[in-house]
Amino acid sequence: MIDRVISPEETYDSVNERISAIVFKRQRSWGWLIGFALAFLLLSVLVGSLFWLFFRGVGIWGINIPVAWGFAIINYVWWIEIAQGGTFISAVLLLFHQQWRTSVNRFTEAVTLFALACAGLFPVLHLGRPQYAFYLMPYPNTLGLWPQFISPLVWDFFAVVTYGSVSILFWYMGLVPDLATLRDRTDRKYLRRLYSIMSFGWRNSARHWNHYETTYKVIAALAAPLVISVHSIVGLDFAYTIVPGWHSTIFPPFFVVGAIFSGFAMVLTLVIPVRAIYRLHNVITDNHLRNMAKMLLAMGMFVLFGHFSELFMAWFSGDIYDQYHATHEALGTYAPVFWITFVCNIVLIQLLWFKYVRHSPVILFLVAGAVNVGMWTERYLNVVGSLHRDYLPSSWAIYHGSFWDWSTFIGSMGLFLTLLFLFVRFLPLVSISEVRRLVYERDIE
Amino acid sequence: MNQNDLTSIPLYGLMAEFDSAEELIAAARLTTKAGYKITDAYAPFPIEDLNDALDLPASRIPIVMLCGAIIGAFLGYGMQYYATVISYPMNIGGRALPSWPGLIPVTIEFTILAAVCCGIFSLFIVTKLPRVYHPVFNHPDFRRASQDGFFLCIRAKDKRFDYVATERFLRDLDPISVMAVEK
């Protein structure tokens, strides 16, 4: 069984060497430099857009009444759903003893953190007066004011802050033994000191491992309900309102499965090229990709069920606004967005039923990329599709993102990619200690 | 500190290196059986059988985390209760003031955050980390403990520790090497 998640030719030493070499060697890699430069360029697009936003205000975006939630909320939901994939792989699959998670969990947790960094940015920008973002925090103030605790937007603040903190702690905790390995593998004095401090002087003592393992598992067990609560709350941000198409009890679970779906898609989109570039085929085997493809298909079917349920409820409720919303989505102004979503999220993933597709990294990469696009357009439909046709026809309006909307969105990808490039270069992108354990378990099997 | 004539330098313990995890587990089992209590093993990954072999008790950190979770839940709910009922009550359509279902999500987040923070914090306390310098690093090959080395250490402060006898005991376990580790 275990042969399927780690190649039989790997030993402790080959694993140590293969993964730490990515950090220590490849000093001048042109590919990395060019990639990093491009990512950094995009990041500066973000910085420029933010500068202009802070200077002029949210008027530079396409938003107005009735579509007051534009790209900022679409991007927020898109990024935070991408974050879900990492937590799902590292926490939920750990609890289910899925050994294949071991070689990809570090990377996917990093994806979680960086996607969260992007997600956390947008609600603050969306405030219009971002300097007052701290009003969301309950703190003793001379105004005698409190946040409104019975509002999903305040829940969201607490959910994202908790999710971010727990993800960072969980990720760093996993890194500690690997930083100790890096410390012991380098002879350069300053690097040794740096890694020594970063690993808190971890010395692989069995007594420490005992506590470490237990704590790690309990945190994983807490992270699993945490992500579900986070995405339910994101769903409730919408469902709490009376806007047609939003006011629905399917939203919290729909957002949770949508998040796992887009999380797995993003992980596949990133893992396939990284595996090819760093030649990690022995550690991240084809079997890993196949398992993720199956998860992607399963979650895609759940998402399909969510869509079906929305349509059914629109018909069954007899509510003319909901019915109009359901038909207008597919036939109205935003019909192209709807059909892109339909093709990417529903039609294309049906390819994953075929073994040939699941076994071909290239096609898998393309399908996963399509799902990333599809999830963004789906959130576009969620946000704009509902808002632009509310109860009062006189207030109907058409929304389009402005130049600055697009530049902020594309710029946020720059933030994500810059962090990812730095991570891949400076930290072990596969958990060395956990892969060593896989080698041990394979040997005693 | 044990008195022995062989060495005048203060001794941390005797460290034996083994070839594989299985040998380390077997050696640890025999060491525990021989009555040595203050021992430790070093391996590049967590090994469940080793906990058993060294007779390590189950970690009690989950209990601390449970306490943290309960305190977090009370703090989270209490803060919201104070805000919405005592400090700033608002009459919204005559609804009951502590409308508790609406306070649950933030309470859940507080619970999880407090539990995780307690877990990490107690891990630092229990393992006495951060500690960048430690006597075990004096062993010349100890760097391999984080790569592919398996070590067993019997501390000099163990009651049954006797330099000559303990060294002989360790050598009988068929290790790669046995070395004295200075303090």
Find tokens 């529903």 and name the residue.
A346
The whole-angstrom distance between residue A247's C-alpha and the CA centroid of its chain comes to 25
The whole-angstrom distance between residue A136's C-alpha and the CA centroid of its chain comes to 23
Percent of chain B with pLDDT over 90: 62
What are φ and ψ of residue B42, in 5° steps?
Answer: -130, 125
Cβ atoms within 10 Å of A401's Cβ, excluding its own: 18
3-state DSSP assignment of residue B163: helix
- Listed by number, the residues of chain A in 209-268 with a beta carbon closer than 8 Å to a beta carbon of chain B are 209-215, 218-219, 222, 225-226, 229, 233, 236
The answer to whether residue B6 scores a pLDDT higher than 60 is no
Inter-chain CB proximity A138 and B83 less than 8 Å:
yes
Q: With contacts defined as CB-CB under 8 Å, which chain B residues touch A204?
A: 42-44, 145-146
- Listed by number, the residues of chain A in 403-442 with a beta carbon closer than 8 Å to a beta carbon of chain B are 433-434, 436-437, 440
pLDDT score recorded for residue A3: 66
- Listed by number, the residues of chain A in 121-180 with a beta carbon closer than 8 Å to a beta carbon of chain B are 138, 144-147, 149-150, 152, 154-155, 158-159, 161-162, 165-166, 169-170, 173, 177, 180
Which segment of A25-29, B10-14, B115-119 scores lowest on mean pLDDT?
A: A25-29
pLDDT score recorded for residue A28: 64
pLDDT score recorded for residue B8: 62
Closest CA of chain A from B174, distance in Å: 20
The DSSP line for B62-116 is HHHHHHHHHHHHHHHHHHHHIIIIIIS---STT--SS-GGGGHHHHHHHHHHHHH
In the structure, what pLDDT confidence band is assigned to residue B29 with cuts at 50, 70 and 90? Answer: very high
Nearest CA in chain A to B137: A203
Q: With contacts defined as CB-CB under 8 Å, which chain A residues touch B87?
A: 144, 146
A202 touches chain B (CB under 8 A): yes
Q: With contacts defined as CB-CB under 8 Å, which chain A residues touch B119?
A: 215, 218-219
Q: With contacts defined as CB-CB under 8 Å, which chain B residues touch A152?
A: 105
Q: Which of B136, B65, B60 is nearest to A211 (CA)?
A: B60
- Listed by number, the residues of chain A in 3-62 with a beta carbon closer than 8 Å to a beta carbon of chain B are 11-13, 16
Q: With contacts defined as CB-CB under 8 Å, which chain A residues touch B127?
A: 205, 207-208, 211-212
Inter-chain CB proximity A149 and B106 less than 8 Å:
yes
pLDDT tens digits, residue range B91-105? 888 888 888 888 999
Nearest to B147 among A165, A181, A206 (CB): A181
Pairing of strands B39-42, B11-18: unpaired
Inter-chain CB proximity B87 and A138 less than 8 Å:
no
pLDDT score recorded for residue B1: 45
Inter-chain CB proximity A165 and B62 less than 8 Å:
no
Find tokens 């990512």 and name the residue.
A39
3-state DSSP assignment of residue B174: coil
Closest CA of chain A from B5, distance in Å: 29
What are φ and ψ of residue A360, in 5° steps?
Answer: -110, 105
Nearest to A162 among B62, B112, B129 (CB): B112
CA-to-CA dists, residue B147 to A179, A436, B139, angstroms: 11, 8, 15
Which one of A210, A213, A229, A230 makes the best mutation probe of the B interface by having the most chain B beta carbons within 10 Å? A210
Which parts of chain A have pLDDT scores under 50? none
Inter-chain CB proximity B120 and A16 less than 8 Å:
no
Closest CA of chain B from A162, distance in Å: 6
pLDDT score recorded for residue A26: 65
ipTM: 0.92
Closest CA of chain B from A330, distance in Å: 35
- Are A101 and A435 contacting, i.e. CB atoms less than 8 angstroms apart? no
Q: Which of A268, A336, A337 is nearest to A296 (CA)?
A: A268
Which one of A99, A175, A188, A205 makes the best mutation probe of the B interface by having the most chain B beta carbons within 10 Å? A205
Q: With contacts defined as CB-CB under 8 Å, which chain B residues touch A175?
A: none
**Predicted TM-score (pTM) of this structure:** 0.92
CA-to-CA dists, residue B148 to A201, A207, A437, A440, B62, angstroms: 18, 18, 11, 10, 30
CA-to-CA dists, residue A69 to A61, A210, A324, angstroms: 10, 48, 20
Q: Which of A355, A388, A381 is nearest to A303 (CA)?
A: A381
Percent of chain B with pLDDT over 70: 96
pLDDT tens digits, residue range B123-161? 999 999 899 999 999 898 999 899 989 999 999 988 888
Nearest to A222 among B41, B46, B115 (CB): B115
Tell me the count of A-B CB pairs closer than 8 A: 189
Q: Which of A259, A287, A180, A224 is nearest to A87 (CA)?
A: A224
Q: Which of B28, B48, B44, B38 is nearest to B150 (CA)?
A: B44
Q: With contacts defined as CB-CB under 8 Å, which chain A residues touch B108?
A: 225, 229
Distance CA A443, CA A7 (A): 11
Q: With contacts defined as CB-CB under 8 Å, which chain A residues touch B143?
A: 184-185
Nearest to A219 among B119, B124, B130 (CB): B119
In the structure, what pLDDT confidence band is assigned to residue B9 with cuts at 50, 70 and 90? Answer: confident
A194 touches chain B (CB under 8 A): no
The whole-angstrom distance between residue A269's C-alpha and the CA centroid of its chain comes to 12
Nearest 5°: CA angle at A212, between A211 and A215? 85
Inter-chain CB proximity B105 and A233 less than 8 Å:
yes
3-state DSSP assignment of residue B14: strand
Closest CA of chain A from B77, distance in Å: 10
Distance CA A224, CA A292 (A): 18
The CA-based diameter of chain B, rounded to the nearest angstrom, is 86
Which one of B42, B63, B112, B125 makes the best mutation probe of the A interface by having the most chain A beta carbons within 10 Å? B112
